[in-house]
Structure 1
Amino acid sequence: MNTILFAVAAYLLGSVSFAVVVSKLFGLADPRTYGSKNPGATNVLRSGNKAAAALTLLGDAVKGWLAVFLALQFGEQYGVGDTGIALVSIAVFVGHLWPVFFRFVGGKGVATALGVLIGLNGWLGLATLVTWLVIAYAFRYSSLAALVASVFAPFYYGLLFGVEPQLFAVLAMSVLLIWRHRQNIANLLAGKESRIGSKKKS
């Protein structure tokens, strides 16, 4: 029962869409109405407001980290074991993808997934982040960087910790993240994908 409560709480935390909240605070257009229509930091950056994009990235990452951190810190005393931590990891990520507070229209989960990975282990998060940065710097495509990082994340976890319940949570997040980027994959193949920093079209 406690495991379910932790997972539900994580889902609700994940359902807070910082792209929408921050854009509203900054007086910007709803990120679901322009660019890729994805409520995430990359699309908020297309508004031209770097501060809003940075806060969106930070907020989405922190909520992923916080859910896992709280589960790791307090879950054991409530009988939440490794499987429960894995469920919390997936729940906060799913909350971002399909947020109950925003009619289940959420982002693609890159920043939140990173926050979850950092929560599980700092080295795991760092390795995945470095992978994202290298690909993003080399090719200037956020989506391509996310796809490559998502493929490597389960590999990094397995290399560091072997087969554990959390490995399957990381694998599930990677599969969902790739699925959420299916249109980006099509755009990349067609040469139509927007590069990092490109402004929204008027």
Structure 2
Amino acid sequence: MILQLGMVVLAYLSGAIPFGYLIGKRKGIDIRQHGSGNIGTSNVKRILGKKAAAMTLLGDGLKGLIPVVMARALHLDGWWLVAVALAAIIGHNWPVYLKFKGGKGVTTTYGSFLGIALLPALLTILIWVIVSKTTKKASIAALSSSVCAPILAFTFGGSLPIVAFALITMALMYLRHIENIKRLLSGKELTLTETIKVEPLNNKDR
């Protein structure tokens, strides 16, 4: 029990590392003050560019995947494996390092999903890519692909914990995208191709 709980705590602390925020701070920009205010890949791309977005994507994905891989190596499975994956996602969404104000959890969710159920996760990510390319809206891609995740998990014979994980993360995805849904309905949602020019704080002081 101590090992399992330790892995859950470690996963949360790993998931809470705010890569988008840290990358922005290195450039003198608080990513939370611009664009959508989110610390995730899409907002980083609009403000800091493709390279920073790629670094954020990699960091946010790995902090979901690595704890699950570690848990598997320690022979955790079933509900404990799901608990570790969910802890990483909760860490991203509500990070202790940023006073529990984090991101939407899309990349970290799919990173965790890759460690739990590889094929359903890959297909879910493929759906995200196709929808994002078609609509140019990351939120639509996240919401639609998250609905597909539990269907794919069930279709490919996922266990009850795996299907439950997909259902729970779908609910979390919609919870974290409430403001995006409002903007989509009002036609004010930002696209992936939009850019926002922000002057670093260091330059403003000169």
State the TM-score, normalized to the length of structure 2: 0.91
Q: CA deviation at 1:168?
A: 1.0
Asked if the contact 2:82/2:165 (under 8 Å) is kept, the reply is yes
- Please give the alpha-carbon distance, in whole angstroms, between the structure 1 residues aligned to 2:77 and 2:190: 42
Asked if the contact 2:106/2:142 (under 8 Å) is kept, the reply is yes
Per the alignment, do residues 134 and 28 of structure 1 end up closer, same or farther by CA in structure 2, a change over 3 Å counting? farther
Asked if the contact 1:7/1:87 (under 8 Å) is kept, the reply is yes
1:18 is matched with: 19
State the TM-score, normalized to the length of structure 1: 0.93
What code does the residue aligned with 1:193 have?
A: E
Asked if the contact 1:31/1:40 (under 8 Å) is kept, the reply is no
RMSD, matched Cα: 1.3
What code does the residue aligned with 1:52 have?
A: A
Q: CA deviation at 1:65?
A: 0.7
Asked if the contact 1:140/1:196 (under 8 Å) is kept, the reply is yes
- Structure 2 residue ranges without an equivalent (≥5): 199-206
- SS of residue matched to 1:161: coil
Aligned residues: 197
- Please give the alpha-carbon distance, in whole angstroms, between the structure 2 residues aligned to 1:198 and 1:48: 12
- Please give the alpha-carbon distance, in whole angstroms, between the structure 1 residues aligned to 2:82 and 2:157: 14
2:8 is matched with: 7
- Please give the alpha-carbon distance, in whole angstroms, between the structure 1 residues aligned to 2:31 and 2:124: 26
- Please give the alpha-carbon distance, in whole angstroms, between the structure 2 residues aligned to 1:115 and 1:69: 10
1:134 aligned residue (114, 130, 133): 130
- Which range moved further: 10-19 or 42-51? 42-51
Q: CA deviation at 1:101?
A: 1.2
1:124 aligned residue (97, 104, 120): 120
Runs (4+) off by over 2 Å: none
1:93 aligns with 2:94: no
1:1-202 map, 5 Å: 1=1, 2-25=3-26, 27-74=27-74, 76=75, 80-200=76-196
Q: CA deviation at 1:162?
A: 3.7
Per the alignment, do residues 28 and 50 of structure 1 end up closer, same or farther by CA in structure 2, a change over 3 Å counting? farther
Q: Which digits, 9 at most, give the CA deviation of each residue in 1:31-75, with x for residues without a partner?
A: 11100001111001111421011100110001101111111111x
- Structure 1 residue ranges without an equivalent (≥5): none
Q: CA deviation at 1:28?
A: 4.3
What code does the residue aligned with 1:36 have?
A: S
- SS of residue matched to 1:177: helix
What code does the residue aligned with 1:18 have?
A: F
- SS of residue matched to 2:35: coil
Asked if the contact 1:85/1:166 (under 8 Å) is kept, the reply is no
- SS of residue matched to 2:64: helix
Q: CA deviation at 1:163?
A: 3.9
- SS of residue matched to 1:173: helix
Identity %: 36
- Which range moved further: 10-19 or 116-125? 116-125
Q: CA deviation at 1:166?
A: 2.3
Q: CA deviation at 1:24?
A: 2.1
